[in-house]
Amino acid sequence: MFIQNTIKFLNNYMDNFKGQVAMVTGAASGLGLSIARKLLNSGSQLALLDLNKNSLLNAFDNFPEQVLCVGIDITNQQLVENSVAEILARFGKIDILVNCAGITGETNLKSHQVSTENLQKVFELNFMGSFYTSKAVIPNMISNNYGRILHIASIAGKEGNAGMLAYSASKAAVIGMTKVQGKEYAENGITVNALAPAVIQTPLVDAMPETQVKYMTDKIPMKRCGTLEEAANLAAYIVSPLNSFTTGFTFDLSGGRATY
């Protein structure tokens, strides 16, 4: 009976995404790719955005009816607006937005060593990109009285990681935006939440200096990186209809690092 009930629960959970349209940025690799695959396997139609359109096509070319791949620099507001119009023309609505696109920028540097240009570049993608996409999709969600928005933040945005000023500050801004948007659209059937991972084993982390990664993993009581599957599972719940009374909240995925 337990096994039968578990299977029934999982089937019902998967059915929650049937007929829904999800837009995922940074979907060509890392967390964005894992979340996109999770939603695809759960029955969603997908609009996937990434600067690397070829990688998107290589990963999802077997699903031409279910997936729209868009090559785009989301730091360009006009291109974002054009892409959202294209998605709405194709699918008719956008139920879910997951903002995964992001960069760490220069790391292992103290604040006085950080270049202004690099800091601005990180903010443009990590914060402004998430602002542009949410600004563009929210009117459609309001008209449908339903929406789920998930901004990928970071534990660095809550606690600050030494040597990562641009990344930490940009993710703190993402968390601040989440709190504001969660309050603003709470009566419109739209939830807006953030996910704050500690260290997830992604290509982004693999490209960081070993000393920077060690600094971060040493702070995790589990003494390991999180997995993409663990992150995608939590993200899928956050953007599901099951998560209907939590908004403006930052979900931790930190292996015990965050306890507040």
How many Å apart are CA 141 and CA 25, to the nearest integer? Answer: 17
3-state DSSP call for residue 69?
strand
What is the C-alpha end-to-end distance of the chain, expressed in Å?
A: 37
How many Å apart are CA 31 and CA 229, to the nearest integer? Answer: 9
Nearest CA-CA partner of 239 in 69, 42, 7, 85 = 42
- Contact yes or no for 163/105 (Cβ under 8 A): no
The catalytic position among 167, 185, 215, 237 is: 167
- Contact yes or no for 134/184 (Cβ under 8 A): no
How many Å apart are CA 183 and CA 180, to the nearest integer? Answer: 5
Please confirm, yes or no, whether 167 is among the known catalytic residues: yes
Nearest CA-CA partner of 25 in 209, 181, 229, 235 = 235
Which two three-digit tokens encode residue 113? 């060593």
Phi, psi (rounded to 5 degrees) for 10? -65, -40
Tell me which residues are annotated as active site.
Answer: 167
